[in-house]
Structure formats: C-alpha cells, structure tokens
Structure 1
Amino acid sequence: MKFADLLTSCRASGDLGPMVQSIPYANFLDLRIDIKGDEFTCILPFEKKLIGNPVLPALHGGATGGFLECAGLFYLLWKMDTKTLPKTIDFNIDYLRTGQPRDTFANVVMVKLGRRVANLRIEAWQSSPDKPIALGHCNFMLDA
C-alpha cells in the first residue's frame, strides 16, 4: 500500500497504528498513539530492551530521543493535511530527569506553523506531565 493511501486510511479510521507499524524505528519502539478529541498522546510502552543503564536502571537516551522525534512526526501526520512524511530539519533534546523503567508519555505543542516549516515542542513524562523527563524542540519541513 502506498504511503498516501495508508495515511488516508488511518485518518478515516482514527487509528494511526498501521502508520506506526509502517515506520521501522517506531515499530521497534512499539509506539502507541492515543487520540481523544483534540488531545494527542504518544506512548512508549516500557520494554527491557529500552534500558541504557542497567545499574540505575534508566531508559536509553537514544530511545527517549527517538520517541520524542516520532511523537512530533505522528502529531504532524495526525494534525496536518499532508500526503508525505514531514522531514526533520533540526532536533534538540533537553534531558531533565532519569527515565525510569516504566511507560513514558509525550504531548506535543505546535509552537509555530508556517507554510513550509512546523516548529514543535514535545514533552516526555512518566509519573506526571508536570514532571517531564525530557523536552524536544524541533523543526519539520512540510510538503510544499
């Protein structure tokens, strides 16, 4: 199935699961998308393979960063009327707390939307949205 057809099908059903499965790294992370009305939450279910420091134990920074970037990407696919994958221009991560061995959640805020570039802030948290473990700031190139 072509990407545009898959995206249209996912939007019609309200289920981005097949889209997540079509992107290898998102599929590896086993990401979940929870959409309730206008509220978008991306979920990184905990798995032992995501541990980067077994002594603490702590989530791997690369898994956390990849999760943040994927959350931004899926948010744009859900929110925008696009037929192609947005392309990452830049991505910065602020690691604020140790990611514990449990499920992690991400909320996305559209900071600015231009004709060709979207600027997003992604907040990852575990116990409470008021205590983020990481923040992502990114720009995505949108299809023209």
Structure 2
Amino acid sequence: MTMQTFSKWLYAGLAVLGGGQASAQSQTPAGILRKTLLEQQLPATTVETVRMDGLTLGPGAGAPDHYHPCEVYGYVVEGQILYQVHGQEPVLLHAGDSFREAAGERITVFKNALTDKPSKFIAIYLAKKGQSLIKFTDQ
C-alpha cells in the first residue's frame, strides 16, 4: 500500500472516529470529495489507544472463531470477505464496504471469499492501553 493510499484511509478512519459527517464536511477544502463510509455511535468506553492495521487474507484464508475485547471498525480495500456474527446471517463484504465488530461480539466467520486471489482490509482498534486486540474461542 502506498503512503498516499494509506493516508487516504487513515483520513477516512479518523473522520469516522472524529464525530460524524456534518462537522467533517464543514472542514473539507474545495476540490476534495468526502464519502462517509461508516457512522456509528460508540458505546460508553475508555479509548486510550487507536491502532490501525492493514491485513491481507490469502485465497480462502480467514480467522478462526474469535472476538475482540475492544471495538473494531474495518474497511474492505480489495476483494470479498465473508463475515458472520454469531447468531446472525453471513454477510458478503465487497471492496468499499465498512463493518463494525462490537467489543465482545463473537465472530464465527471472517474469511476471504475468493479462492483465486487475496482480499485486503483495514482494521481500526479502539482499545485501552495494553489491552489484547483479539481472543480466539475454543469452538
């Protein structure tokens, strides 16, 4: 990922974290187009650390059954990801889609839906200092 692409997604991620579309749009310089990717009310929590990771899932690869002790927000950069929260229907995420994984919410499926090429996404973790970012369940 180039620095320009990273900066674009970092700016988008910080806009999501920074409090909504209205305040961000009033500060957008001429010649820049803003698209809100996700707007979500945060639960009452203490955020001491923000971490943003770029992840690549190889063809058909995915994470085992897991949950995050902190809030996680994501954006699919490339490819398709099959995503399922425990007890809900699976969702197929495409490039340009955003998603939220609530703290403590069990994710039973999170994998690259493509078998011939990788899929890429950005994950933004809102954590407490020193907090684990992911826990795998024993299913």
Asked if Structure 1 and Structure 2 have the same fold, meaning a TM-score greater than 0.5 normalized by the shorter chain, the answer is no
Q: TM-score, normalised by structure 1?
A: 0.27
**Rg larger in structure:** 2
TM-score by length of 2: 0.28
